[in-house]
Amino acid sequence: MDAKIVIDDIRKGFTRKGETLQVIDGLSLQVKDGEFVAIVGPSGCGKSTLMKVISGFALPDSGAVRIDGVEVRGPGPQGIVISQHGSVFPWLTVRENLMFGLNRGTPADKRALADHYAEMVGLKGFENAYPRELSGGMLKRVEIARALVVKPQILYMDEPFSALDALMNLRIRNELLRILQEERHTVILITHDVEEALYLADRIVVLSQRPTTIQRTFQVTQAHPRRLSNAQLQQMKDEILSELGLDLDLDLDASADVVEQRQA
C-alpha cells in the first residue's frame, strides 16, 4: 500500500544575524494510512520544527512532504494539530467550540455531531459549560473532541498530554485508543514520554541530536491494551532510552557513585 505521508529528505534551518542553526538534516520517513507513529528525541533536537514542517505550518529549506502524493505547501484540511498549548476558545461553550470548525450541515446537524463527540470524550452534561468551568483534563478532552469532530484524516499531536497529571494522562491515552479503534486516523505523536509512545504507537521513531535525523525506529507489535510491564516492551523501553543517551543502569551506577562519594 502507498504511504499516506511521505517525508522526503527534508532539511530545515533558522538564520539569525547571519548565523544558521541547522535543525533538520536530511530526514525521510513514510507513514502508512491509519498508522500511529510516535516521535521521540533529545530535548531541543527539532521535534516541534519537524511537526510544523509535516503539518504545513513551516516549509522545509529543501526536500518535500507529500500527503497522498500531493506536496504540502501549507496547512491543509486533511490534518489537525493538537498541541500542548491548546486552542479552545474561552468565550465559547464546549458545544460551540465543537461546532466551530463545522461548515457543513444544518445547525441541528452540527449540534448533534458536536454533542456526539462531547459524549465520546466523556463530556456529556458539560455541553453548555465554558472552558473556565472545566478542569485541565476536561479541557484537553474538549481539545481532542474539537480535532476529531471535523473528521481529519491525520492527527498531528505535539506533546498533547504533557500538561496533565499522570492519572489524567493515562485516562486520556485510553480514551484516544478507544476513539482510534472506532475512527481510523493516521496519527503522528511527538512526545518526551517513552512509555506513552510504547503504550500508543505502532512505530516509534527516535531522532538524533540536532541537526536531527532518524537514529533508529522500533516496531511495536503488541496488541492493545498493552501492559507496560510486558518484558518485550520493557526491553524496548531500555533500548529507546539507551538510544536517547539515558542508559538507566549506567545512570544508577553513576548516582550510586555520587552517593558513595558524598558519604565518604
Ligand X SMILES: Nc1ncnc2c1ncn2[C@@H]1O[C@H](COP(=O)(O)OP(=O)(O)OP(=O)(O)O)[C@@H](O)[C@H]1O
Residues making contact with ligand X (CB under 6 A): 14, 21, 23, 41, 43-49
Burial 31-64 (b: 16+ CB within 10 A, else e): beeebbbbbbbbeebbbbbbbbbbbbebebbebe
C-alpha cell at position 49? 520544527
> Which is closer to ligand X, CB of 15 or CB of 235?
15
Whether 145 and 117 have beta carbons less than 8 Å apart is answered as yes
Rounded distance, CA 138 to CA 169, Å?
11
Q: Cα–Cα distance between 119 and 103 in angstroms, integer?
A: 21
**Least distance CB 53 / ligand X (angstroms):** 10
Query: In this complex, which beta carbon is closest to ligand X, that of residue 45 or of residue 114?
Result: 45
Q: How far is the CB of 190 from ligand X (least distance, A)?
A: 7
The residue among 35 and 159 lying less far from ligand X, judged by its C-beta, is 159
Cβ proximity to ligand X, 25 vs 247, nearer residue: 25
Name the minimum Å distance from CB 213 to ligand X.
13
> Least Å distance between CB 14 and ligand X?
3
> How far apart (Å, rounded) are the C-alpha atoms in residues 4 and 1?
9
Place of cell 514520554: 193
